[in-house]
Structure formats: C-alpha cells, structure tokens
Amino acid sequence: MATVKVVDGDVALIRVESSSEKFVTTVLPFITRRSIRACEKFLIRYRRNELYGLLRHADTGVEKNATLKALNSISGKLNC
C-alpha cells in the first residue's frame, strides 16, 4: 500500500510498504533522476524563491507582513 507524503504541483512524494520498496527505488531514478531528499530540497528552494518574488511585488504592508511570516517559517528570522 502506498501513501502520498507531499503533493506540490507536478511533484509527489510517496511512502510504500517494504515489499514494494525495491521496485519503487529501482524505477524512481529513471523518473526523476533525483533522490527523495533532493526533491524535498528543490521544493523548499522553489517555494522560497516564489515567496521572495511575492515580497518584491507586495504593495501593502499587510501583504509584506504575510509574506515575511511565510518566509520566516522557512528560512528563519528576516529583517526587512
């Protein structure tokens, strides 16, 4: 049985039983050419860059504060 761990756009991380592990780990590099951890790192980096873009284009203080709060939850304390 497989369970979805993370779904983000066109990327999904799944958890499978140990009986299916060999099949999935054999096929996965041909699909993504990355490890699960590399996919997680990519998603964090991608979302952080999206948030920085939103911060640059934020017009109001409310938008800036909401974006900074989201960035702080990912990157730690930011002072802008």
Amino acid 56: pLDDT:
92
Position 58 in a domain: yes
Amino acid 48: pLDDT:
86
Beta bridge pairs of residue 65: none
Position 13 in a domain: yes
17-75 pLDDT, tens digit per residue, is: 777 777 777 766 666 556 677 777 777 888 888 888 988 998 999 999 998 888 888 77
Amino acid 30: pLDDT:
62
Position 80 in a domain: no
Position 35 in a domain: yes
pLDDT tier for residue 3 given thresholds of 50, 70 and 90: low
Q: Which domain holds residue 11?
A: 2-75
Radius of gyration of the chain (CA): 17
Q: 76 — alpha (psi -120 to 50), left (phi > 0) or beta?
A: left
Position 62 in a domain: yes
Count of structural domains, the chain? 1
Assessment of whether the complete model's pTM goes beyond 0.85: no
Position 49 in a domain: yes
Amino acid 29: pLDDT:
65
Amino acid 80: pLDDT:
54
